[in-house]
Amino acid sequence: MKRVAVIGGGPSGMLAAAMAAEKGHAVTLIEKNEKLGKKLFITGKGRCNITNAAELEVFFKNIPRNPKFLYSALYGFSNEDVISLLQRMGVPTKTERGGRVFPTSDKSSDVIRAFASYVKQAGVEVRLNTEVESVTHTEQGDFLLRLNAGNALRVDALILATGGVSYPSTGSTGDGYRFARALGHTVTEIQAALIPFETEEEWPKTLSGLSLRNVTLRAYSTKGKLVFEELGEMLFTHFGVSGPLVLSASSFLTGNPAGAKLNIDLKPGLSQEELDRRLLRDFDSNIRRQFVHSLDALLPKRLIPVLVAQSGIPAETPVHQITREQRLALVSCLKALPLTVKCALPVEQAIITRGGISVKEVNPSTMESKLLPGLYFAGELLDVDACTGGYNLQIACSTGALAGRSV
């Protein structure tokens, strides 16, 4: 039996602790907040998109950074395993659009309670309101943890599951990076991932609160390369654009996204020719009206002035006077409404963190350090990140489970 400490009481830390305890180890789970799963509580707008029901092959397509590193973790503790564990702990789930899996109750607190109950049943000692100030590797080969209030803890194995630096109010303040560096590990550049964008254009701000569903968003790098294309939902905000499509696109616009281009296809179900025919029918029905009043059946009311301005057709133009060239210009706008990224929001406002412990220094089959035996990593602390849709929480669960089972 080993003495094991897990630092971080999020989903990866809770599963790591429970699974290590199930192997017969004496496990202490250390959390600096007053409760477990504080960041988990706010995920999915409080509903907790815990995983995705897609085949695992689809998962890897939604992990733009170091997907191959996660093969053992995801296949060892899959989305089906997460759903099964929750059901076993009394939390049934449901699958929504895009394969997103939520607790049937729509309450993230139910997921936290299930994981916390699993930890308790496994016999883990949980220390809340306990902050780790430093971690050292001793000459005896174990780990010494200096805690707040002058306490200390010696363990044979250590699992770091402290999260990244997004949403620091939930406790994600980068402690794990500091501990890892002190133990000799490399931490790659820390950036925001799953982050909204400010736009150069002002018109999105006039649409703040408007959500677009069933649109296709395309993102082009600053070099003009198409890096993202997906159908889904997005949102205009007081600073620019957000919503699931934008957050996922941000994972593919690496580095400084300033100057990157976004195109919104407002009618992805129609080709340009089909959309042109649709416009002709709408114009025939509004033949005596002004252009600005002819688009009510085609677009949300708040979006119409924007499309009118973008098309270059004067708003008061009688519909019967609109030329073929003008109509085709409108079609182009509807199929590729352009936006320019000014900047991403600060990393503190990101849903997750890009960057972290270099995966070159971690054994993907065990999550154990290649540099220091007995040291393990799990969750957002690692240099992996994925698109929205439950993929990141699944990564947290899978890497936590693998680390706990490997101790």
How many helices and strands in the chain, by DSSP H and E? 12, 19
Over range 228-247, report the average pLDDT.
95
CA angle, 280 then 285 then 288, to 5°? 105
Prediction pTM value? 0.88
Whether the per-residue pLDDT at 166 is higher than 80: the answer is: no
pLDDT the model gives residue 88:
97
407, 376 contact by CB (below 8 A): yes
Among 37-46, 242-251, 323-332, 398-407, the least confident range: 37-46
Over range 54-78, report the average pLDDT.
96
pLDDT the model gives residue 220:
97
Q: Which domains does the chain have, with CATH numbers?
A: 3-191+354-406 (3.50.50.60), 196-344 (no CATH)
354, 206 contact by CB (below 8 A): no
Whether the per-residue pLDDT at 46 is higher than 90: the answer is: no
Arithmetic mean of pLDDT over the chain: 95
Whether the per-residue pLDDT at 77 is higher than 80: the answer is: yes
Whether the per-residue pLDDT at 230 is higher than 90: the answer is: yes
Exposure class string for 286-300: b at 16+ Cβ within 10 A, else e:
beeeebbebbeebbe
Q: Is the dihedral of CA 372, 381, 52, 50 positive or negative?
A: positive
Label residue 192 by pLDDT band (50, 70, 90).
Answer: confident
Q: Which residues pair with 100 in a beta bridge?
A: 52
pLDDT the model gives residue 45:
79
Over range 307-326, report the average pLDDT.
95
DSSP symbols for 87-138: HHTT--EEE-GGGEEEETT--HHHHHHHHHHHHHHTT-EEE-S--EEEEEE-
Over range 159-188, report the average pLDDT.
89
